[in-house]
Amino acid sequence: MAAGLLAASTNTGLFGAALAAPQETSWPRVVNGDDSAPGDMPFLVALLDVYDFEDDGAYSAQFCGGALTTTTTVVTAAHCVVKVKSGAVFRPDKLVVGLTRNLDSPNVRTVGISAITVHPNYDSDTSAFDIAVLTLAEPVMDITPILPMRPVDQQSLVAVGAPAKVAGWGNLSAADESYPTAFKIGRVTIFPNESCGSGADFSFAGVTFAGFGSRDASADTMLCAAGVSSSGKIIDSCQGDSGGPLVGGYDSAMRLIGIVSWGEECAITLPGVYTRVAAMSDFLIATNALVTFAPTIPPTIDLTVVNTALRVNFTATDDGSVVSSFTANATDPTTGQVFGCTAQPRIDLQLPFCTIGGLANGTAYAVSGASGNSLGTSPASAAVVGTPLGVPTPGGIRKVWSSDKRMIAVAVKQSRANDAPISRVALRCLPIAGGPPKFAPVGQDRWAFLRGLRPTSYSCAIIATNALGSAVSAPKVIRVTR
Provide the annotated active-site residues.
79, 130, 242
- Please tell me whether residue 287 binds ligand ARG under the rule CB under 6 A: no
Number of H helices, E strands in the chain: 5, 33
- Best CA proximity match to 398, nearest among 476, 458, 481, 453: 476
- Please tell me whether residue 7 binds ligand ARG under the rule CB under 6 A: yes
DSSP reduced 3-state for 213: coil
Burial class (CB in 10 A: 0-12, 13-18, 19+), 388: buried
The nearest distance, CB 14 to ligand ARG, in angstroms, is 10
Per-residue mark of binding to ligand ARG, 224-253 (x: CB under 6 A):
------------xxxxxxx-----------
The nearest distance, CB 157 to ligand ARG, in angstroms, is 19
**Residues contacting ligand ARG: total by CB under 6 A:** 17
Taking only Cα atoms into account, the Rg of the chain, rounded to an integer number of angstroms, comes to 31
Q: Which residue, 153 or 236, is less far from ligand ARG as judged by CB?
A: 236
Among residues 66, 180, 249, 263, the one that binds ligand ARG under rule CB under 6 A: 263
Q: Which residue, 42 or 240, is less far from ligand ARG as judged by CB?
A: 240
Residue nearest to ligand ARG (CB): 263
Q: Please, where are the H alpha helices in 148-298?
A: 281-286
127, 273 in Cβ contact below 8 A?
A: yes
The nearest distance, CB 53 to ligand ARG, in angstroms, is 18
Interior angle at CA 437, CA 433 and CA 442, nearest 5: 130
Alpha carbons 9 and 221: distance in angstroms, whole number: 19
Alpha carbons 439 and 456: distance in angstroms, whole number: 16
Alpha-carbon torsion, ordered 150, 152, 154, 156, to 10 deg: 80
425, 445 in Cβ contact below 8 A?
A: no
DSSP string, 282-297: HHHHHTT-S--S---S
- Please tell me whether residue 62 binds ligand ARG under the rule CB under 6 A: no
Q: Which residue, 272 or 369, is less far from ligand ARG as judged by CB?
A: 272
Per-residue mark of binding to ligand ARG, 11-50 (x: CB under 6 A):
x---------------------------------------
Burial class (CB in 10 A: 0-12, 13-18, 19+), 198: middle
- Best CA proximity match to 256, nearest among 226, 237, 277: 277
Per-residue mark of binding to ligand ARG, 334-373 (x: CB under 6 A):
----------------------------------------
The nearest distance, CB 73 to ligand ARG, in angstroms, is 20
- Please tell me whether residue 69 binds ligand ARG under the rule CB under 6 A: no
Amino acid identity for residue 466 in this structure: N
- Please tell me whether residue 127 binds ligand ARG under the rule CB under 6 A: no
Q: Which residue, 6 or 141, is less far from ligand ARG as judged by CB?
A: 6
> Which region among 7-15, 110-118, 335-343, 441-449 touches ligand ARG (by CB under 6 A)?
7-15
DSSP reduced 3-state for 474: coil
- Please tell me whether residue 72 binds ligand ARG under the rule CB under 6 A: no
Alpha-carbon torsion, ordered 57, 58, 59, 64, to 10 deg: 150
Q: Which residue, 259 or 408, is less far from ligand ARG as judged by CB?
A: 259
Contacts to ligand ARG from residues 155-214, by CB under 6 A: 170
What are the residues binding ligand ARG (CB under 6 A)?
A: 7-8, 10-11, 170, 236-242, 260, 262-263, 266, 272
